[in-house]
Structure 1
Amino acid sequence: MPERTVASWTAMITGYCHNGLAEEGITTFIQMLENECPIEFTLAAALQIVGENCNPRFICILHGYITKGGFLKDSFLQNSLIGAYAKSGVLSEAVKLLERFRSRDVSWTSIISGSVLHGSMHEALLVFFRMQEDGVAPNEVTIMSILRACSFIGRRRILQWVHGLVSKLGWHQHELVLNSIAETYLTNGYFSEGIQLFFLDFVSMARDGILPGRRLPLSYSVVVIPII
């Protein structure tokens, strides 16, 4: 077999990462360290593998390697490292790193989605509030994660605040987001808000000439049918 280069090692590790082969990816990365020095893309792929595999110990090892190698100045690796910690549930370390770095746009979402993934719903909301204080606009992943947290916590005022923010940012016209907000209202027993959103969605779909029944969330039928 021809001698492997940094590029070929990186391609192999990235391939394992994309195919969900965590053990093979980690083994290949360790083999690479015996022969070559990884580049930023290699380290990012390794972080994704250990993050999705929930391996905090190996993340700490990679963190140390990245720091000693002087790679921590790279914003792409900063976000990858924060994302790995968040996915593994080591939220305190993820937040600590977030405070150190300037490039926060992706990192906020990584921590919020990681918090929700590990059932830390209140922590997800706290990070979301800090994200707003930092002036960072949420993306679709952020919003969907926060709505899951709101659904779990079940506080009307918090959900109304998130709903207002979503409308202010223009996400209320996004079908998936709109349905998720309505589902969250209805799931927690806030029928007036949920049904109001249902009719707004119904009118919007009718205006566009779309058959409404094809897109109704399950909660709509659960609530609306008994009323009829």
Structure 2
Amino acid sequence: QSSKFMNGPPQVVCRTKHLICATTAQCESLLHHYATTKSLSKTKQLHAHTITSGLLSSHHSTHPSLLATTYALCGHLSYARKLFDELPQRTLFLCNIMIRMYTQNGLSYNAIQLFVEMLASGHLRPDRYTFPFVIKACGDLSLLQLGVSVHCLTITSGVYSDTFVGNSLLAMYTSCGEKERARRVFNTMQERSVVSWNTMISGYFQNGCAKEALLIFSKMMNAGVEPDSATIVSVLPACGYLKDLKCGREVHDLVEQKGLGSKISVRNALVDMYAKCGSMDEARLVFDKMDQRDVVTWTTMINGCILNGDMRSALGFCPMMQLEGIRPNSVTVASLLSACASLYYLKHGKCLHGWAIRQKLESDVIVETALIDMYAKCNCVQLSFRVFTKTS
């Protein structure tokens, strides 16, 4: 049903600068193109043209539902909803687009509200494109009972066996802390994709079941399912948490064998795993071989040094990070401040305080707490109290 929006730019006769002579068909073709390329400014310009030229009138085929769809896919949800509410009759396709975009933009309540309106209308029957995003919205809001009700609807609607619906149920149940319900869904799935396995691995780990997460990963490998980068990022935290260096090295070998190390998130996860397993030499080897490093990479190395009691090396990464032009986040600064506190390095701590001010991170709660602690441990109670008073 979404092929018009997923097959790339269509061949169009007119361009935006020639809108004065655009026909209805050409305007619709442009709208499909703008929906695909998410061109909000051009959508607004074309919308203005359809109004002034009368192409939106009842005598022409350009329908407001197409404009609403384009606005939604461009991320302008407030105006998309305005057009949506003015439609005499809503289509399932447009409802699905609105629900999906609401969920993807963090407006989960709006997604659920629209889903309820769909059901109440009586003439729109949700399908396999509707349920995954409604279920995700339930999980995002931790609405377990509503999620269970929607689960029941997937059964009565005949879409329960769809893999995407099943994967969304797995994610919803694990995010709500219901790992056993997730397992029951997983066990009854007719087809399990790599996403299904990844969701179970990460879901079990996030619910405090690291050993079970590794067991699921082992079953995945035995089942012959090809892992992807998300699999690696899901399983390595469990290795690190359990300090299972042997398993972590095996996963690292898998990364090299399968060529999964191109993503920075995978390399960051490897650095973090080795650091938590106490093998900073191996963490540094991965770090040094990285072509690209982000703030997570540097913060992970800094935290790894601190975790393993090497405060001086942690502080040594600070000037290196600055030379590479990486902007710190609040976790980076707080970690470096904790190293200063452990070493009673007041001068370094004051420099970091100035750095935090320049980076506009001083008012972050994590940084403020670290500053208070650092000044107090460096026997500068007055400065510690000053930060505390400013915080209060």
Percentage identity across aligned positions? 28
- Equivalent of 1:57, from 227, 246, 256? 246
User: Which stretches in structure 2 are left out of the alignment for 5+ residues?
Assistant: 1-187
Please say if residues 330 and 366 of structure 2, whose CA atoms lie closer than 8 Å, have aligned partners that are also in contact. no
Distance 1:144 1:74 in 2: 26
Contact 1:48 1:80 (C-alpha < 8 Å) held by counterparts: yes
Q: Is the 8 A contact 1:89 1:115 kept in 2?
A: no
Q: Structure 1, residues 134-174: CA drift from partner, whole Å, max 9, x if none?
A: 22111111111111111100022211221121122111233
Count of aligned pairs between the two proteins: 202
TM superposition shift of 1:3: 5.4
Letter aligned with residue 140 of structure 1: S
Judging changes above 3 Å, is the alpha-carbon distance between structure 1 residues 89 and 198 closer, same or farther for their aligned structure 2 residues? same
2:377 to 184, 187, 194: 187
* Among 195, 200, 207, the residue aligned to 1:7: 195
Determine if contact 2:331/2:367 at 8 Å carries over to the other structure: no
* Partner AA of 1:69 in structure 2: K
- Asked if 1:33 corresponds to 2:221, the answer is yes
Distance (Å, rounded) in 1 between the aligned partners of 2:305 and 2:254: 25
Provide the secondary structure at the position in 1 that maps to 2:348.
helix
Which amino acid letter does the alignment assign opposite residue 209 of structure 2? L
1:177 is matched with which residue? 367
Measure how far apart 1:198 and its partner are: 4.6
Unaligned segments of structure 1, at least 5 residues: 206-211, 213-228
Displaced runs of 4 or more, over 6 A: none
1:71 correspondence with 2:296: no
1:17 paired to 2:194: no
> Once superposed, what is the RMSD of the aligned Cα atoms?
2.0
State which of 98, 111, 136 in structure 1 corresponds to 2:326. Answer: 136
Say if 1:20 and 1:129 are closer, same or farther in 2 by CA, change over 3 A: farther
- Which residue matches 2:56? none
| Higher relative contact order structure (alpha carbons within 8 Å, sequence separation ≥ 6) | 1
From the superposition, tell whether residues 103 and 62 of structure 1 become closer, same or farther in structure 2 (CA, over 3 Å).
same
CA distance in 2, matches of 1:14, 1:175: 28
Distance 1:179 1:15 in 2: 31
Distance of aligned partners of 1:170 and 1:7 in 2 relative to their CA distance in 1, 3 Å threshold? closer
Q: Is the 8 A contact 1:26 1:49 kept in 2?
A: yes
Residues 276 and 307 of structure 2 are in contact (CA less than 8 Å); yes or no, is this contact kept in structure 1? yes
Paired with 2:240 and 2:383, the residues of 1 have a C-alpha distance of 38
Counterpart in the other structure of 1:113: 303
Q: Which has the larger radius of gyration?
A: 2
Query: What amino acid is aligned across from residue 141 of structure 1 in structure 2?
Result: V
Q: 2:363 & 2:200 partners in 1: Cα distance?
A: 41
